[in-house]
Amino acid sequence: MRVNVIFGEGTAEVGTGGAEAASSLRRWLMAEPELRGRARLSGEERPAAGHMGDGLELVNVVLANSIALGSLITAIAAWRGSRSRPPQVRLERDGVVVTLRDNAPEQVEEILRMWNASAADASALPSPPADSTSALPAGDDE
């Protein structure tokens, strides 16, 4: 499962702040014992509007299982709580984007519920029909 962590709203002032925040968060997550062995981290440069780009502004996290998802969101909330001016953080999973506005446990639970509901809706789609030839009894060739 893949989660993208995006900083700011794409405004010009995010150019340097987003890069610093992304680098800091990446280091924080790499040191998080709950994610060790359960997450793979990478970064991507995303230049802000009007800027050529100056660094990391997106952290990609690939999780080994859904249990690590709660640990990831909790770690990001804890990281925000450690900052004197916590940046806006948007999290994206399977096209569903949420904004982490505070560090309350209730918001972590709300994000997990929203993403789980979205995943359940996607899995509830009808599966393609079975191959009709495999359903014929042996010897009933028509």
Q: How many folded domains does the chain comprise?
A: 1
Confirm whether 103 is domain-assigned: yes
Give dist(CA 122, CA 101) in Å, integer. Answer: 26
Range of the domain at 28: 2-122
Res 44: pLDDT: 58
Beta-bridge partners for 92: 4, 97
Tell which residue, 138, 19, 4, 111, has the closest CA to residue 63: 4
- pTM to 2 decimals? 0.71
Residue 55 is part of a domain; what is its CATH number? 3.30.70
Confirm whether 139 is domain-assigned: no
Confirm whether 138 is domain-assigned: no
Residuewise pLDDT in 10s, the chain (142 residues): 899 998 865 433 334 467 888 888 999 999 999 998 889 888 755 555 555 454 447 888 999 887 889 899 999 999 998 988 888 888 999 888 888 877 777 888 888 888 888 877 776 655 555 444 433 344 445 4
The two three-digit tokens of residue 15, written as one number: 């150019």
Q: State the DSSP H helix or E strand holding residue 16, giving kind and residue range, or none if neither.
A: helix 14-30
Judged by DSSP in three states, 19 sits in: helix
Q: State the DSSP H helix or E strand holding residue 39, giving kind and residue range, or none if neither.
A: strand 39-45
Res 8: pLDDT: 64
Confirm whether 117 is domain-assigned: yes
